[in-house]
Structure 1
């Protein structure tokens, strides 16, 4: 069952935004839009860091802060890779395999044990 409130939120894919992405994208929202997100968050996930962030931004707006320019729906460059959250490491960027020596560290080789005969 789809949530009808989710499709009308001021930020597309709000539920999938990381906290850092949310922080920068709410800067372009009005106080009414931030209040809408805050109400949605409290009814659904109720994540404390998110509600604190939204409440702080709402207080800034009520104290006279102005929304910044920009598109709240724009995808940030670090999110444009598909949103899988995977590592940017690939076989092409991986280091060569390396086996450490059996004793000591790579720059300080271990010494063989003395003859016990």
Structure 2
């Protein structure tokens, strides 16, 4: 069952953000919002790298740092348009190479002979 507190967090999809995405997005939050995330994290996942990151950012804000510009709901790089398939095209792909099982023109295959 979904936790109702999850819907009121300052970062949408907070639980699904990788730590790299969280680090850049938490910089746009105020100290109250970071405190809210920290309390949520401690009561739910309590992941040490995440709590350390949030506590460090909270310390920065309390020391006088200002939230940077940006939108906490902005498109996450990890959920952007995904490329599928191979980046190679027929024009850039290597020629297929697999020698036939019976030998090559300069090296004829030999019969297996009688195995009596």
Residue 6 of structure 1 corresponds to which residue in structure 2?
Answer: 6
Residue 90 of structure 1 corresponds to which residue in structure 2?
Answer: 85
Larger Rg: 2
Specify whether residues 26 and 90 from structure 1 end up closer, same or farther in structure 2 by C-alpha distance, changes over 3 A only.
Answer: same
User: Any unmatched runs of 5+ in structure 2?
Assistant: 99-116
CA distance in 1, matches of 2:2, 2:42: 18
Residue 79 of structure 2 corresponds to which residue in structure 1?
Answer: 79
Specify whether residues 28 and 90 from structure 1 end up closer, same or farther in structure 2 by C-alpha distance, changes over 3 A only.
Answer: same
The CA deviation string for residues 49-102 of structure 1, in whole angstroms up to 9 with x for no partner, is 0000000000000000000111011013442137xxxxx562343865778xxx
TM-score (normalised: structure 1): 0.71
User: Any unmatched runs of 5+ in structure 1?
Assistant: 83-87, 100-117
Write out aligned runs for 1:1-117 (5 A). Answer: 1-81=1-81, 88=83, 90-93=85-88, 96=94
Q: CA RMSD in A?
A: 2.1
CA distance in 2, matches of 1:39, 1:45: 10
Specify whether residues 90 and 66 from structure 1 end up closer, same or farther in structure 2 by C-alpha distance, changes over 3 A only.
Answer: same
Q: State the secondary structure of the residue aligned to 2:4.
A: coil
Specify whether residues 98 and 35 from structure 1 end up closer, same or farther in structure 2 by C-alpha distance, changes over 3 A only.
Answer: farther
